[in-house]
Every structure is written in C-alpha cells, then in structure tokens.
Amino acid sequence: MDAFLGVERSLTGRRWIGPTPDIERACEKLEQQTGLPRAVCSILARRSVPVEEVSGFLEPKLKELLPDPRLLKDMEIAAARFVSAVKGRERIAVFADYDVDGGSSAALLLVWLREVGIEATLYVPDRIDEGYGPNVPAMRALGAQHDLIICVDCGTLSHEPIAAAGCDVVVLDHHLGGETLPDCVAVVNPNRQDENGDLGYLCAAGVVFLMLVEATRLMRADGCGVPNLMGLLDLVALATVADVAPLIGVNRALVRQGLRVMAQRRRPGLVALSDVARMDCAPTAYHLGFLLGPRVNAGGRIGQADMGARLLATASAVEAEVLARQLDTLNTERRDIENAVRTAAMEQAEARGLDAPLVWAAGDGWHPGVVGIVASRLKEATNRPAVVIGFDGDEGKGSGRSIPGVDLGAAIQRLAAEGLLLKGGGHRMAAGLTVMRDKLEPAMERLGALLAKQGAGAGAPADLRLDGLIMPGAATVDLIEALDKAGPYGAGAPGPRFAVPDLQVRFAKRVGESHLKLSLSDGIAAGIDAIAFRAFESEIGPRMADHGGARFHVAGRLEVNTWGGRQSVQLRLEDVAEAKST
C-alpha cells in the first residue's frame, strides 16, 4: 500500500498509512446514503458500521445494549447472597485492587450500600508490602470481623487467601481465570475459562455494575427501595477508560452515559479531582484517561493504597477536597519517578533492540508503582508488547502492556504455570508478574516466543495510521461535535486522526520545556492552530521552530479549545512531514 501523501518517513521516523481501498469505498457509500460529513463516515467505515446501524451507533442506548446480568455464570448466586446480606444488615467488607478500576468498583458498592443504610468496610492492599490481590493475613482478619467479603477487580486466582477468610466470599473480577476457581460463594468473571467470552471486554467496574443491576431487580421484586443506578455510571465510565477496556459494545454506552452523569458534578470526589486537574470544560474520555485516572491511581502507586477509592466513595466535599489535593501532589511525585525510570528503561530496551516481539527492561530499585506506566510508554514507542520490572534484591515485580490482537495476560499466566514466574496474571492488554532474578532472561525469552506466535513484532513500529485528509477550512467546531458522536474513543476504538496537507508556519512558540504552539496556514485563506506536546523531544520542535518558510504536512487529532468562553478548533499535532516541492 502506498504511503499516505507520499510520506515514507516523517520527522518522527514514521510511515503514514491511510484508509484501505475497502474502507474508502465504504466511506463513500455511507456519505452518499447518510449525508454525514466525510470525516465522520471515515470513522464509521473503519468501525465497519453498516448504513442501517448508523443511527443506533451514533446514539447508543444503554437499555438496548445492556446485557442480562444473568448471562454471566454465578451472577444469580452472587446477587442473591449480596441482597441477603443487605436485608440481614450483615457486616460487609469490600476488598479492592489499588488501581482506578479497583477503586471505582469499590466505590460503586460502598455508595450503593450507604444509600440503603449500610456502611461497609473498605480494604485495599499496599502495593509494595502486600502486592496485588487478596492475601492470607488480610483475608483472615477481615473474615473474623465480617459476614461477607466482596473481592472486586481481584480474587479469581486467590485460592489460599479466600480459603483463609473463614466467611462467605464473592468475587467480582475480570482478570483471566485459571483452570480451577477459588472455593467461595461465587466468582463472577466474564474471563473465567468456562465463559464464552462475549463480555470479556468488561472491566471490573462493569461487572460490579451488572451485579448491582441484578441485585436491584431482586430488591424491587421484594418491594424494597433501591438507589438510582444511572447515577453511578460516572464511576463505571472512569474505570472503563482508565483500565483501557475496549470501547465496544455496552462499554460505549456506559462511557457515553457516564460522561453525561459526570458533567452534572454531583459526586464530591470527582468534582474535587476535576478542579485540582483544572478541567474547565465538559468531561471527555480523554480527561478520564489522562487527567483524572492518573490522579486516582497515584495513591495506589506511591501513596496510601486506599486513597483513590475513598475519594470516589466519599459524600463529603471537605474530605474530597483534601484527598484530591493529596492525590494531585502524589501524581506530580509519580511523574518525576516515572521520568527517571522511563529514561533508564528506554536506554536498556534500545540497547537490546526494539524490533523483537517483546520489548522489556529491568532495573534495581525501580518503583513498582510506575513500572506499568513505563511499560505503556515503551509499548507506544515501539508498537510491541512491553514489560518493565523493578527488582528489590533477587525478586522483581513487573507490569506489562500489550497491543491489539496479542493476549499478554494469557501468555504471562502460562509462564507462571511453567514455573518461570513466581506468579503472574492479568487480562489481554495488561498483566502483572513476579520473577526471580535468575529466571529473568529465560522468562523474557519464553514470553517473547509466546507473543511472537500471536503475531507480536509483525507490525512496523514506524506506521502512523490516518483516517484521511482534511483541509483547514473544513475543521470546524461543528465537525468535531459530529465526530464526537462516533465516540467515545480509546482502547479498541482509536480516536480519529487526520492529515492536513501543505501548510506554512505562520507562528511558532515554545511552551514550557518541550511543547510547541503553532499557527498554520494553507497560504490562501484558511488556517488552523495546533499544539505539539513534547515536540522538542523529537525533530518536530527544532524543525518547525526554525522552518525557514518550508511547507509541511501535519497529522493529529482535532479538538475544541475553550478559552475565555470562546471555542476554537485546535489540532493536537502528533507528526509532521516535509511537503515535497512541486
């Protein structure tokens, strides 16, 4: 396939790839039959949306897409036990993972229970001292004081800790299951090995929400009052985006509706967090993933593990403000730690080679709270699955991130079964592991071989995929609003990226340490403003700041910039190529 706009190598070293001929034909058909802008039709064509389903796709209805919770194995048992505990005013504990999905899942239960008059106990393990998931001492202690423990976003592989609880345990999870399940009341998990996988894309908060839907049905059947479930969708949306769950199926509707709920600013924790993050517009999936999510995660990464869940669950505006400020400070510290580890990890990975099926790095003293983020950065830079491991003595704790079509969680779980890892598991796109130093090299070699069989390493790391061409005059606020209707965008549903051809630089200004603010023009009449983040970490910043009158093709994502109450179009510039003179 020819390079788009003839760009074989951009300023960041990437080859530009445009829509395939099949997608172009489908786009033209949609444009003719729907009357929608061509840019919108290009997204619909990429998502293989047929003409007759366009309306439903652009306006997804939760009531139409929400699956029957009882389709999941053990759901009826789990919901019945939960309702029994509620009616019996039993002592309930929620054991949650320390990330956004775990915190949101816990908050869903804590808020729902509070509204029916029950104050449940929250327990989130410390990342460093206890590690991921239930452990024997914690479960034993909780079991001694409670009648029911609900494990959220964890527990599917926790046979021994759950057995030690000494009370009823329900697991609501989404991580890949093993051949056997823990001996407990119920394990509700769309990624159990005996599930059909139709709902395997749900995050844990999505599973918890479905359990609350079923519990609500049971409560209503008995004439009991229940909380408003729709008001909880802001938490589900946050978890879905932050946990990089694919924005397909019911997830699209959950996030769309959740963003509407969040915009109402009724949850103290999210209001306070939005304010410290200086969000001055209606929330989008981008805000959930890049502004709010990292701050909620910061407590579990380098601070007190339960801070994120407490923030999301609190009904107090005062407590929310205090926690939000603490998390914002921790997030700044996390970035500093991450930058140091990222630099070292990238140097090591480059020395090892970036064209293998697996990119990995390991180092002494690397903070376990940032290895997952650094793995994401390596994955983004190379288009390969990536694993980053921090060692404390001879034991290393690591985290991995994958690319579409490569199931990292299953491969890591297989390594654990083969004895190359002390433990490991996760889901398709993200996984965690613990490895001894003497097993590091053979474990990574074996992991690379397993991932290669799934196709990892086949894609070129230097490809930039574009949805088409757009001229500056066509980039309007109305067009961006139309594109937003084809969202939300994220994992499994990449946001639209367009090329704007043959532009001159009218204005260029360095912003902060490495960003570049630009005003670009087609040389006739129309122009477009752009922001290039971290531009001076590549060739983009130096070349465009000292452009010498050259013309450029630029590529990026359109967004609405709100300033002083006025809206304007801005291109979030991701790549640049020199326009060939004719």
Where b means 16+ CB within 10 Å and e means fewer, 225-238 reads: ebbebeebbbbbbb
Q: Using one digit for the tens of pLDDT, what is the confidence trace for 493-529?
A: 889 999 999 999 999 999 988 999 999 998 877 789 9
Q: What is the pLDDT of residues 442-451, one digit of tens each?
A: 999 999 999 9
| CATH class assigned to 4-18+466-578 | mainly beta
Nearest to 420 by CA among 386, 465, 385, 450: 450
Report in angstroms the alpha-carbon separations of 374 from 14, 335, 351, 415, 445. 21, 10, 17, 22, 20
Check: CB of residue 448 under 8 Å from CB of residue 358.
Answer: yes
Q: Which among 284, 285, 449, 429 is positioned nearest to 357, based on CA atoms?
A: 449
Every domain of the chain and the residues it spans? 4-18+466-578, 64-329, 353-453
Q: Do the Cβ atoms of 389 and 440 come closer than 8 Å?
A: yes
What is the Cα–Cα distance from 213 to 75, expressed in whole angstroms? 10
Beta carbons within 8 Å of 570's beta carbon, 6+ residues apart: 528, 529, 530, 531, 558, 559, 560, 561
**3-state SS assignment for residue 151:** strand
Please check whether the two domains, 4-18+466-578 and 353-453, share a CATH topology: no
Alpha carbons 284 and 287: distance in angstroms, whole number:
5
pLDDT tens digits for the chain (582 residues)?
A: 789 999 999 999 889 999 999 999 999 999 999 999 999 999 999 999 999 999 999 999 999 999 999 999 999 999 999 999 999 999 999 999 999 999 999 999 999 999 999 999 999 999 888 988 999 999 999 999 999 999 999 999 999 999 999 999 999 999 999 999 999 999 999 999 999 999 999 999 999 999 999 999 999 999 898 999 999 999 999 999 999 899 999 999 999 999 999 999 999 999 999 999 999 888 999 999 999 999 999 998 888 999 999 999 999 999 999 999 999 999 999 999 999 999 999 999 999 988 899 999 999 999 999 999 999 999 988 889 999 999 999 999 999 999 888 999 999 999 999 999 999 988 888 999 999 999 999 999 999 999 999 988 876 556 899 999 999 999 999 999 999 999 999 888 889 999 999 999 999 999 988 999 999 998 877 789 999 998 998 899 999 999 999 999 999 999 988 777 788 899 999 999 999 764
* Top CATH class, 64-329: alpha beta
Instruction: Write the class of the CATH domain 353-453.
Output: alpha beta
